[in-house]
Every structure is written in C-alpha cells, then in structure tokens.
Structure 1
Amino acid sequence: MSQPSGILARGPWAMEEIVATWDADHYDPPTHATDAADAAIAALAERGSPSHDGHAARLVDWEVTDAGVLTMRLQPIRWALRLVEDDASASIASLCVIRDSGGRWLAGRRAAWLSSWAGRWALGAGGAVDLGESPADTLVRELREEWSVAPARVRGEALVRLPHQMVMFVGQAWLAPGVEDDIVPDAEHDEYAWWPAEIDAWPDEADAPLRHMARLLDAADA
C-alpha cells in the first residue's frame, strides 16, 4: 500500500544518533512487482549496464525517540524492486551530499548506463543500503567508493519518502581542507565539478530539485 511522500523525519543527527535494526525475514513482493523488476533488470542489460541484481534494504518502520535518536527498522529486499516505476516497495538508499571546507558542493554527472538519473547531474554520492548495513554507514561507504575520499565529519539530515515509494536517507559530509584535490570519480560519473557555496551562483545544469534540497540543507545550518 502506497504511503504519502515527503519528509518523514528531520535531523540533524550525529552518527551515533542513527540506529538501524534488521528483520530476519526477506520481503515477499507481489507477483506484479517481481515481474516489473525482472523487466527492468533485463532492460538495463540490453543497455550494456554492468548493474547486477542482489539484496538491499527496505524501510519497515522508523521513529525519532524522545532523546532525539533516529531508529530505523529494515528488512532484506531484492535490489531490483527499486526499479519498479510506480512502487519501489519502500526500498531505502542513502545520499551523501558532499561539501568542501569552504562550503562548495560536489556535483557529478551520472553515466548514461545507470538505472536512475542517467546523464543528469547529482550531488555527492548515493546508493543502496547493503544487507546488514546502517544507512548512516552507507553514507561514508558511498563517498569512499564513488569519490575515493573520507569525510572529516558527517551527519544525517533527513529521512524522505519519494512519490514512487523509494525512501532516501540524506546525509551531509564535509571534507578536510585540501582533500577536494584528492577526488577521483568512479565509473558512475563521466564528469564532476565543485559548485559554488552560494546556491544562486550554481550553473544551469543544476536543476530545481537539486537547488531545493541544497537550500533545505543550508537552512539546517542557519
């Protein structure tokens, strides 16, 4: 059953204030969702994408405790269910928005073979939560895998449900001075740039959703 989209919970949370637990049972999708996931994986293969199916996480439940701790209950799910256009089955992914020490934003243009946002510019690093992993740890792992750097500090910002029932755990990471020169993009990006700290000075390729998210993150620091 579809749930309303929007911000489910708003931080910021320190890493130790983010707790994830996992159910033992795997999610059992309806037949139509399995068929749609099969078709989506086949379409990626036809495009020459190296993407492969596997296991990831779905959000079963969440809570912000009186102490301000974000708790998330997760369940194993087939990775390809996130590709179902009208219902991603509450699959959860993490997005790590990356800033340098001067406040600039790391943006990358996503390769044409990717399953989502292909050929479009995106902020930071993002991807599926691995089996048994906390979405908070996914932030740091994706930063390392996609850009070959580690953050000086990182925090959770928001838990968001998208209209197609994908859930995004959004975090923000800052690099130490000089580390921005060590950036090495992975194969998921064919170009990258440091966009100005001032969002109004961003280039034309920065579309409205990116600007909106960045302004929300900036407001959290105000």
Structure 2
Amino acid sequence: MPYPPGILARGPWPLDRVTSRWSTTPYEPTPDKVAAADSAIAELKARSSPSHDGLAGRLQSFTVVNGQLQLELQEMRWALRLLREDASGALSVLCVVRDSEGRWLAGRRAEWVATWAGVWALGAGGAVDAGEDPALALGRELAEEWSVQPERIAVEALISTPGDMAMLIGQAWLSPGTEVTRDHEHDAHAWWPPDPNDWPEESHPQLRRMATLLASG
C-alpha cells in the first residue's frame, strides 16, 4: 500500500538511531510498471543521460520505537524510481547542507542528468543502493556531490511524495571556512540566505516549504 503524501515520521535522530533491515524477497513490479520503466530508461539513453539501471532500495515499512526510526527495505529495480506517478515506494535520501552562518547550499542540476535536470536543488541526494544503510547514504551523497565531510549530521524526517517515492531527509552542518566543490552533475551552485523567505525566484516552492520546516525544528 502506498503511503499518503506528507511527513511519515519526524526527528531529528542521530545517525545511529536510524536502523534498517533488508528483506530477502525483492520487490516484484507489475508488467505495466516493467514496461514503463523500460520506456523511461530508453528515454534517458535517447538524451544521453545516465541509464545504468541496476538495483536500489524500496521502503517496505517503518516504525518509530523508543526514539529510534526503524526501516524495513526491499531491493527493487532502479528504473522504477523514474515513474513520476507511481515510483513504487523507491527510497531516496536528501542531505540538506547548512554552513556556519545558517545559509543553505543550493546546486543547479545539469541538463543531462536523469532527474531534476536544469532545476535548482538543495544539498545532495540520490537513490539508496541495494543493501546500503540509508542513514549513511546521506553522508555518501554529500561526499560524492560536494567533496566535503560535515561537522555534524542528523536525520530530520521520513516523507512520502505524491508520486509514491519515500525520502529520508538529513541535515548537515559544515565547519566555518569549509569550501565545497561541486561534481559534474551540477553546473552552478550558490549559498541561499538563512531565511527561506529571502531566497531567489528560481527556488522551488517545495524547497522553501521543506527548509521552513527544518528551520522550525
């Protein structure tokens, strides 16, 4: 059963208070989803975007017990996450990044990437690899996309999107003087003001809402 869009669980939790267990039974999509995933991969190839496919993680269920977020996960085909209306519970991570002044790291995604092409996004994010610890994936994505190690990091929330994708949201803080180096999947970056109300016009309203929620927490 898909989860309704919205916040499923609200932290913050230290990384060691988020645990995961992988099912031995992989997710089996319906034939129509397989066909849609095949079509999505073909579209990526046609515009020279990454189309490696492979396996990724899916949120099967979750519980919050004694201040600990527990995730039950399944392996699933990576390409299913490309289905905008029904991503089958594909699990992504998003690590929002703040500097010592409270500013937010924003990066514009290159036009050739598979998702959010040409759009400004916050921090670092991506799929959870098969068998990976989702809490640790937050730091992995941050290192891969911006070549930094945070001063501290916490898991802020587990959410469900209208397209049935699950997202584990983390927030990382950088030490004073830390410099970031963007990867090839971004063609520009900027530090947006601490108050989301002061952000530039290119910032998506969903990003403003998320930042406002995190700041209030």
Residue of structure 2 equivalent to 1:218: 215
Residue of structure 1 equivalent to 2:70: 71
Residue of structure 1 equivalent to 2:149: 150
- In structure 1, give the amino acid aligned to 2:11: G
Residue of structure 1 equivalent to 2:192: 195
What 5-or-longer segments of structure 2 have no aligned partner?
none
Name the SS for the 2:168 alignment partner: strand
Residue of structure 2 equivalent to 1:163: 162
Residue of structure 1 equivalent to 2:132: 133
Do the aligned residues in 2 keep the contact of 1:51 with 1:114 (CA within 8 Å)?
no
- In structure 2, give the amino acid aligned to 1:137: L
Residue of structure 2 equivalent to 1:123: 122
Deviation at 1:53, TM superposition (A): 0.4
Aligned equivalents of 1:129 and 1:18: distance in 2? 14
Aligned equivalents of 1:98 and 1:110: distance in 2? 16
Residue of structure 2 equivalent to 1:85: 84
- In structure 2, give the amino acid aligned to 1:217: L
Aligned equivalents of 2:51 and 2:176: distance in 1? 34
- In structure 2, give the amino acid aligned to 1:107: A
- In structure 2, give the amino acid aligned to 1:9: A
Give the aligned CA root-mean-square deviation in angstroms.
Answer: 0.9
TM-score, normalised via structure 1 length? 0.95
Aligned equivalents of 2:194 and 2:3: distance in 1? 34
Name the SS for the 1:158 alignment partner: strand
CA displacement, residues 104-161 of structure 1 (integer Å, 9 cap, x when unaligned): 1000001111222111100000000011111111100000000011111000011001
User: How many residue pairs are counted as aligned between the two chains?
Assistant: 217
Aligned equivalents of 1:8 and 1:198: distance in 2? 25
Do the aligned residues in 1 keep the contact of 2:63 with 2:70 (CA within 8 Å)?
yes
- In structure 2, give the amino acid aligned to 1:33: K
Q: Which deviates further from its counterpart, 112-121 or 56-65?
A: 112-121
Residue of structure 1 equivalent to 2:11: 11
Residue of structure 1 equivalent to 2:41: 41
Deviation at 1:50, TM superposition (A): 2.4
Do the aligned residues in 2 keep the contact of 1:101 with 1:177 (CA within 8 Å)?
yes
Aligned equivalents of 1:118 and 1:139: distance in 2? 21
Moved over 6 A (4+): none
Aligned equivalents of 2:195 and 2:6: distance in 1? 25
- In structure 1, give the amino acid aligned to 2:181: V
CA displacement, residues 180-205 of structure 1 (integer Å, 9 cap, x when unaligned): x2x11111101000111122221111
Residue of structure 1 equivalent to 2:56: 56
- In structure 2, give the amino acid aligned to 1:167: A
Q: Which deviates further from its counterpart, 1-10 or 74-83?
A: 1-10
Name the SS for the 1:72 alignment partner: strand
User: Percent of counterpart pairs with the same letter?
Assistant: 54
CA displacement, residues 170-222 of structure 1 (integer Å, 9 cap, x when unaligned): 0100011111x2x11111101000111122221111121111000000010xx
What 5-or-longer segments of structure 1 have no aligned partner?
none
